[in-house]
Structure 1
Amino acid sequence: MMGTPTARAAAVLLAVGALTVTACSGPVPATPPAAAPTGAAAGAMPGPGSVVRSSLDHAAMDAVVEQTATELHQPGMVVLIRTPHDEYVNARGVTEWRGSTPVTPDTKMRIGSNTKTMTGTAILQMVQEGKIALTDPVARYLPDVPGGEAITIAQLGDMRSGLFNYTETLELNTALDTEPGRVWTNEELLALAFANPPYFAPGQGWHYSNTNTVLLGEIAEQIDRKPLDRILQDRFFTPMGLRGTSFPAGADSTMPASYSHGYMYGTNVAQLSDPSLPAGQLAEVEAGTLDPADHTDDNTSWAGAAGRGVSTTNDLAVWVKAMVGGQLLDAATQQARVDSMLPTGNGADYGFALAQLGPLYGHTGGLPGFNSFMGYDPVNDVTIVAWANLAPAANGFPPAEAVVAGLLPLVYATPPPVPDLPEAQLPG
């Protein structure tokens, strides 16, 4: 059993993972379980004004990674952290359950909802090219979306459309369990979503919904007049030299060479209500008598533009720094993206296909068997990427977020105190 968290950092980061890991089969509760791995004593969640430590304690970080990976029964886990002062890389474990091939920063894995940042950035490039506007109604491009006249492109990107999340349907999750090789079309996925009432009127709330990003992918293909895999390859992967990154096309469920397998306990249907295993199965996991299922070759067409990408640790580090650092958009469009960040009510902000946690901007991603986190702090020039290949863990935790939560206190020192200034000088 894992120790009780001593820091808000762990709880908030795991809640963020709960928000964005839902490119997986179903929603994870926004409040993480009562026990969370920390691996290190932690203070408050680092804020935008946090100070980066002048050196990284690699031994202490190794201990956090080892503790988290062991407690969450991870076959493999990779962590990369870059600051202006130091770099930390830990590739711990193997690519297969009880296998022998070590994971590396160039091992390919499925990145789930981190794909959203790519789809969203492509749309924003089209915005700056004058091909589409964030204020455009969805109905201008896709007339069959219910209520699409009142939903804007911006509301698709920042999860404020109200459209139902198709990955929360029993129909999809049952099929993922019984027909893991099934090839899904966008029309089938959207039909699942549109058969359910919206969560709220457009712009009147926030709910993470993969339906939004699937629609953005459809719109991107309409504007660029080519499939999304070519759009992402031509706009990002080739010019940025991301040779380990791809977006599988059509019915392709194979992983490119030098990849990690991905494992999961339990079923997608069971995780609709609770991502953790029942007590009896948890005991079997702890005893080493219950093996997880291999989901590596599941067809991920159901994740579509919201979560079908494949990448590596090294590529995600390049991607997230370029995306957050403003290298992929002009200044005005980049600022509009940053300005779109609004609170979600779960300890994180969310904007146009981008999440913010304290000083870090990025995303998390989850599919059955895989969990990843990428973040970049543009003020302090800090990059953090982590992934793991058994997800969710038996206790329901997203392992990549868990390890990052434990490492954050070793990256950031205690934030500086607020100056004792007259009230009139404090920001409003």
Structure 2
Amino acid sequence: MVPGAAVLLRTPQGTFTAAVGTTELGTSTPPAADTHFRIASNTKTMTSALIVLLAQDGKLRFGDPVSRYVSGVPGGDTITIAQLLKMRSGLYDYTEAPELAAALDADPGKVFTPQDVLAMAFRRPPPFPPGTAYQYNNTNYALLGLVAEKVDGRPLAQQMQERLWGPLGLRQTSLPTATDTSMPQRYSHGYCYGGSADAFVDLPYPPDLQAAARAGTLQPTDYTHQNPSYATAAGGAISTSDDMATWIRALTSGKVFNAEFQRQWLDSLQPEDPNAPDGQKYGYGISYQRFAPNAAMWYHGGELLGFNSFIGYDPAGDVTLTIWAGLTLAPDGRATAVALLPTVLSEIYAGLWLPPAPTPT
């Protein structure tokens, strides 16, 4: 029941693509490796890369308190840049604030600044003290975007173009301005059942909605041109499967940082659950998981209204994988691209038992 989805796989044996469905309901245009889509939280891999490069330049340190760069952060003197990068700040996640979803549903074109969304987080109590737990949290990366702009003195999009996309030849990747809701040609439309809150918090759909979707009496809403300015540094970029495959391989194989900071980036991983040290790990804007004895990937996921995606690289096998779908959540509540992951990995690493897909991000 996903309108369209695309898989791109690069291995030493060749490049393989698989696409199903259409880029727009009511048409028959199939997705392709050069189709633009909103990459959502995969943007975090780029924001974090800028922060690491600024540390490499000596312009900041991972142990610096965020209050050195952004004022008004609750407990900002005790929250470090490293804790923001690793999702351990303890700050409230602004995407869980009901007023954000309500504002977007009332006005899909509404423009948000980072300060707007941070204010939603800052007026709520932190769920835990800094550094004591892991919680995937967009507030961290909204702050890191402001840190990068404060330290470098240039807009985030300009920094990404000059330091990341340009040097790596990512010509189809962009970070729109706050008022730009357009998509570069050619692009996929993105759909979601329900309202904005359904995509932000991944709550199960009610049974009547599931039944109507399966019966075809309820069609998903087209969210392609909803203003994504609420995401920006945390999830506002647009790209293609081709560019994302190039990006995740370059980032994880040492083409972005020097040797010293590549090692720090690799060593930043911490288990998300301290009781499962061999499970999912999250570091400086990157996840790592072993899916089977010879199947381990550095990866990230992305989800926002209209799209769900996964990018990953396995250095041992030189396997690069990207998956995206033009529907946030399936009627049964599964994150679409992430739900495809076990099936795709079982094809790549044939015959191996695979644990459940990682938690959507």
Q: For residues 218 and 198 of structure 2, what CA distance do their matches in structure 1 show?
A: 17
Asked if residue 215 in structure 1 is aligned to residue 134 in structure 2, the reply is no
CA shift, 1:87, in A, is 2.9
**Matched AA of 2:26:** R
Runs (4 or more) in structure 1 with deviation over 6 Å come to none
CA contact (8 A) 1:91 1:104 kept: yes
Q: Which residue of structure 2 aligns with residue 357 of structure 1?
A: 289
What's the offset of the Cα at 1:270?
4.8
Partner Cα separation in structure 1 for residue 64 and residue 201 of structure 2: 36
Q: Relative CO higher for 1 or 2, CA cutoff 8 Å, sep ≥ 6?
A: 1
Work out the CA distance in 1 between the residues paired with 2:327 and 2:211. 17
Give the structure-1-normalised TM-score.
0.78
**Match 1:327 to one of 255, 266, 282:** 255
* RMSD, aligned α-carbons: 1.6
Which of 374, 377, 383 matches 2:311?
Answer: 374
Determine the C-alpha separation between the residues in 2 that align with 1:289 and 1:119. Answer: 41
Provide the secondary structure at the position in 1 that maps to 2:168. coil
Mapped to 2, the partners of 1:116 and 1:294 lie a distance apart of 24
Quote the residue 1:386 is aligned against. Answer: 323
8 Å CA contact 1:166–1:192 kept in 2: the answer is yes
- Are the equivalent residues in 1 in contact too, given 2:91–2:140 (CA < 8 A)? yes
Q: Percent identity?
A: 46
Supply the distance in 2 between the matched residues of 1:276 and 1:96 (Cα, whole angstroms). 25
Which residue type is aligned with residue 175 of structure 1? A
Is the 2:87–2:135 contact (alpha carbons within 8 Å) kept by the matching residues of 1?
A: yes
In structure 2, the CA distance between the partners of 1:100 and 1:289, relative to structure 1 (3 Å rule), is same
CA distance in 2, matches of 1:83, 1:284: 41
State the shift of 1:98 in Å: 2.1
Find the residue that maps to 1:362 and give its secondary structure.
strand
Of 42, 48, 72 in structure 2, the residue corresponding to residue 114 of structure 1 is 42
Report the counterpart of residue 190 of structure 2 in structure 1. 262
In the alignment, residue 265 of structure 1 is paired with which amino acid? Y
Counterpart residue number, 2:236: 308
1:225 alignment counterpart? 153
Q: Give the structure 1 partner of residue 246 of structure 2.
A: 318
Could you tell me how far apart the structure 2 residues matched to 1:327 and 1:278 are? 46
Larger Rg: 1
- 1:137 is the counterpart of 2:37: no
| Distance in 2 separating the partners of 1:82 and 1:403 | 17
Name the SS for the 2:99 alignment partner.
helix
Map of 1:248 onto structure 2: 176
User: Which string of whole-angstrom CA distances, capped at 9 and with x for unpartnered residues, describes residues 361-415 of structure 1?
Assistant: 0200011110110000112211110000011111111111111221112212467
Q: What is the distance in 1 between the residues matched to 2:159 and 2:30?
A: 32
Q: Secondary structure at the match of 2:320?
A: strand
**Could you state the TM-score of these two structures normalised by the residue count of structure 2?**
0.92
The counterpart of 2:88, out of the listed 153, 160, 174, is 160
5 Å-filtered alignment, 1:11-410, equals 73-270=1-198, 275-345=203-273, 347-358=279-290, 359-410=296-347
Contact 2:191 2:306 in 1 (8 A): yes
Aligned to 1:57: none
Comparing 84-93 and 149-158, the one that deviates more: 84-93
